[in-house]
Amino acid sequence: MTTSKRILLLVLAGVLAFSFMTGCNNKKAEPPKENEQTEETQDSEKAEEAPEVVEVDFEEVGGLDEETQKIIDEKVAERGYFVLNGEDDAVIMVVSSGEKPSGGYDIKVKAVTEEEGVVKVEVGETEPAEGDVVTDALTYPYTVVKLDTTASEFVVVNTNGEEFANLDEATEETEGEEENKDVVEAEGTLNGQIDNNSVEILLDGEEEPQAFRIEELDGFTVPEDGSKVSISYYVNEEGQNVLLTLEVDE
């Protein structure tokens, strides 16, 4: 092979190699196909879709006025929660464990969060340990807290996930069913007041006195022990006697 031919072959090989390299360098990355999302875009959209959960500041409330305390005493015999008239930028809530057979029980708010306008209140409930010295009287543990929120929807649960009823809604249902109550009229002797929510009455013809709840008596003042009384009452779903009227016989 002559020298000229060798030179020509080397030139052609160089041209082909240069063309190949240029074509590779100029090859553009294909754009994502329609409806195809990158991993970064998908993560961003998931973050946008996740609802924001924010912590809500809260504090226990004490030193309540007499009228407010009366409202609380009338409701805390039931397990649940209700909202008092709150402030413009906060809500005052009462959470009750309901009637307990003795002292030593307690309830405290542990955490409050808000998600999409719904406030979740988590409470911790405690009970007396074996061997604790406690009162034998019925008790009604509850807590009053101020929530730094303007929301109007609430969910209240304890640390075991058990949900508390809205006592305001329960009261409305009870009032709506009032016409269906089986009202009993009776006479007896008032033995005295058991606690803020009930009195003890020995009905005529009975050997043992019974407890009667007084939350439905407006402006009730406890008569003297031993007073002869005429009453009307009904038995609620929990088997408790609830007074509708009580009059002292002259």
Q: Are 92 and 144 in contact (CB under 8 A)?
A: yes
The arrangement of secondary structure in 181-248, i.e. its CATH architecture, is Beta Barrel (2.40)
Q: Where are the domains of the chain?
A: 54-175, 181-248
Can you name the residues that pair with 100 across neighbouring β-strands? 139
Distances (CA, A) of 236 to 60, 177, 178, 218, 222: 32, 11, 11, 18, 22
Q: Model-level pTM?
A: 0.57
> Residues of the chain with pLDDT > 90: what percent?
56
Q: What band does 6 get if pLDDT is binned at 50, 70 and 90?
A: low
CA distance 177 to 173: 6
Inter-CA distances, 66 with 63, 70, 81, 220, 247, Å: 9, 6, 20, 14, 25
| Average pLDDT for 24-34 | 55
pLDDT digits 0-9 by tens, 83-100: 997 667 899 999 999 999
Q: Comparing 188 with 74, which gets the higher pLDDT?
A: 188
Q: What pLDDT score does 86 carry?
A: 61
CB–CB of 199/217 below 8 Å?
no
Across the chain, mean pLDDT equals 84
Are residues 56 and 155 in contact, defined by beta-carbon separation less than 8 angstroms?
no
